[in-house]
């Protein structure tokens, strides 16, 4: 159904059926999970509230695993995730997947490192501690400092599966999963390397390719670039309520255009039929 059928079109304000309430008749939709999807979820939440002032949508990060746990434990209405929910870990048959877009991820380095790409084998060697100086891969004589995300990170799970070939990273991890924390750590740590969604990359870091291939929509479409994933919004309680209306809103032309503007990729643009 379209958002416009629920009490008003996106160009106007409307009234939606409430679910969780906070203060008077205000409905509350709580979102938690992926920090890669958070930029889009947060902006969509604000726009949705403009269209439907009687609904407050709160979007928080924490990591994909945190989001999945929150929704199955009824601590969130929507659990954002970079990964599919493993039915062995999340067996509830009512858990429903809503794919909203595709996220591209990229390695980022301290700009003074001065390299443009690493091979898959070099990346594996760096993140498993076998290569420790940038001069070993054509960079300056500078100690490599990998920024490792916690196990709750869906981005880390994708990185381990599609880039590291299932191997585990070695070294200390961040205490909490935050894409902006990774970005800041790489930007302010000489010799650092990490990985984030392309939507967050800015001039404080340098995005580099994998095997000479950069994280572009074209390279993902062609199958040349492997570090990407579908962005999911999981729910348990499905029906005609504020949560359902927000999920419809995520699929609207307004939000899909916003997603592209922020650097996400439409699901329809990716023809590779595989779970990630």
Q: Number of structural domains, the chain?
A: 2
Same domain, 71 and 126: no
pLDDT at position 174 is 81
Same domain, 149 and 181: yes
Question: In which domain, by residue range, is 95 found?
Answer: 3-100+231-269
Same domain, 126 and 183: yes
Q: Confirm whether 15 is domain-assigned.
A: yes
Same domain, 120 and 217: yes
Same domain, 116 and 216: yes
Q: Confirm whether 226 is domain-assigned.
A: no
- In the chain, count of helices (H) and strands (E)? 8, 10
Same domain, 67 and 170: no
Residue 105 has pLDDT above 70, yes or no: yes
Same domain, 90 and 109: no
Q: For residue 8, report the phi and psi dihedrals to the nearest 5 degrees.
A: 160, 155
pLDDT at position 21 is 52
10-60 tens-digit pLDDT: 444 455 544 555 445 678 999 999 999 999 999 999 999 999 999 999 999
Same domain, 14 and 67: yes
Closest CA to 197 of 156, 235, 163: 156
Q: What is the DSSP letter of 148?
A: B
Determine the distance from the C-alpha atom of residue 185 to the mean position of all C-alpha atoms in its chain, rounded to a whole number: 18
Q: Confirm whether 77 is domain-assigned.
A: yes
Same domain, 141 and 119: yes
> Average pLDDT over the chain, rounded to whole?
89
Same domain, 14 and 81: yes
Number of alpha carbons in the 13 Å side-chain half-sphere of residue 3? 26
141-186 tens-digit pLDDT: 999 999 999 999 999 999 999 999 999 998 888 877 789 999 999 9
Same domain, 128 and 49: no
Q: Confirm whether 274 is domain-assigned.
A: no
pLDDT at position 271 is 64
Buried b (16+ CB within 10 A) or exposed e, 10-42: beeebebebbeeeeeeebbbbbbbbbbbbbbbb
Q: What is the CATH number of the domain that holds 54?
A: 3.40.190.10
pLDDT at position 129 is 95
């Amino acid at each position: 159904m379209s958002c416009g059928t629920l009490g008003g079109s996106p160009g106007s304000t409307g009234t939606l059926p409430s679910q969780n309430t906070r203060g008077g008749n205000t409905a509350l939709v709580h979102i938690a999970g992926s920090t890669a999807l958070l930029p889009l979820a947060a902006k969509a939440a604000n726009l949705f509230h403009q269209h439907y002032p009687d609904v407050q949508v709160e979007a928080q990060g924490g990591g994909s695993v945190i989001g999945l746990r929150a929704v199955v434990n009824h601590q969130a209405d929507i659990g954002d995730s970079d990964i599919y929910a493993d039915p062995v870990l999340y067996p509830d048959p009512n858990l429903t997947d809503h794919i909203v877009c595709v996220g591209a991820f990229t390695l980022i380095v301290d700009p003074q490192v001065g390299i443009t790409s690493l091979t898959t084998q070099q990346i594996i060697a760096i993140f498993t501690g076998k290569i420790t100086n940038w001069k070993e891969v054509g960079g300056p004589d500078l100690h490599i400092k990998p920024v490792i995300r916690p196990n709750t990170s869906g981005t880390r799970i994708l990185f381990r599966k599609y880039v590291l070939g299932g191997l585990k990273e070695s070294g200390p991890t961040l205490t909490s999963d935050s894409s902006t924390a990774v970005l800041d750590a790489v930007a302010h740590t000489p010799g650092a390397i990490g990985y984030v969604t392309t939507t967050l990359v800015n001039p404080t870091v340098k995005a580099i390719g994998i095997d000479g291939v950069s994280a572009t929509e074209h390279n993902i479409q062609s199958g040349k670039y492997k570090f990407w994933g579908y962005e999911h919004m999981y729910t348990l309680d499905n029906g005609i309520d504020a949560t359902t209306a927000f999920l419809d809103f995520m699929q609207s032309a307004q939000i899909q255009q916003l997603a592209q503007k922020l650097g996400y990729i439409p699901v329809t643009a990716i023809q590779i039929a595989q779970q990630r």
